[in-house]
Amino acid sequence: MFVDVHTEIQIDRPRDEVATYVSDPSNATEWYRNIRSVSWETSPPLAEGSRMRFQARFLGRDLVYTYEIRELVPGERLVMGTTDGPFSMETTYTFEDGPGGGTRVGLRNRGEPSGFAKIMSSMMAKAMRRENTKDLARLKELLEQM
């Protein structure tokens, strides 16, 4: 079964500031509750083809996976997909001007779980939506305090 989860939030900060912060994988541990560490496999700065290794904990399991940047349109869109890990996943961030100079941030995770995760894909989608909503709220809190 395919998983496709989309969440979004309005952040009262300029789009370029929000996009720059979110597009830096080194910031992920500050606003993603379940990401424990991020290490660059290629040298910064971020560009199409850049690769980062993530260590996370999700649904009680430790996960290690590598994301590769598939598309980068600064200030508008960032798409990254797993090159290895427990299952195939693509994460897309979108950034649009919001009302009053703020930014609408979209976060979409989609992929096809395999093995045990495939059996639990509907539960996994619900958990992803819940965690993404919390993570975006944390992102909003961090950025609006800057």
Domain residue spans in the chain?
3-144
Which pLDDT belongs to residue 133? 98
Phi-psi region of 49 (alpha: psi -120 to 50; beta: other; left: phi over 0): left
Strand order of the sheet with strand 61-73? 3-11, 103-112, 88-97, 77-84, 61-73, 51-58, 35-40
Q: At what angle do helices 121-144 and 15-22 cross, to 10 degrees?
A: 130
Q: What are the tens digits of pLDDT across the range 28-58? A: 999 999 999 999 999 999 999 999 999 998 8
Average pLDDT over residues 111-137: 80
Is the pLDDT at 18 greater than 70? The verdict is yes
Asked if 12 and 102 touch (Cβ cutoff 8 Å), the reply is: yes
Which one has a higher pLDDT value, 125 or 55? 55
What is the distance between the alpha carbons of residues 41 and 120, in angstroms, rounded to a whole number?
A: 31
Is the pLDDT at 91 greater than 80? The verdict is yes
Asked if 16 and 75 touch (Cβ cutoff 8 Å), the reply is: yes
Question: Number of C-alpha atoms within 13 angstroms, CB side, residue 4?
Answer: 2
| CATH (residue range 3-144) | 3.30.530.20
Among the residue ranges 4-13, 29-38, 73-82, 105-114, the one predicted with the least confidence is 105-114
What is the distance between the alpha carbons of residues 126 and 136, in angstroms, rounded to a whole number?
A: 15
Reported as a pLDDT band with limits 50, 70 and 90, residue 17 is very high
Which pLDDT belongs to residue 118? 52
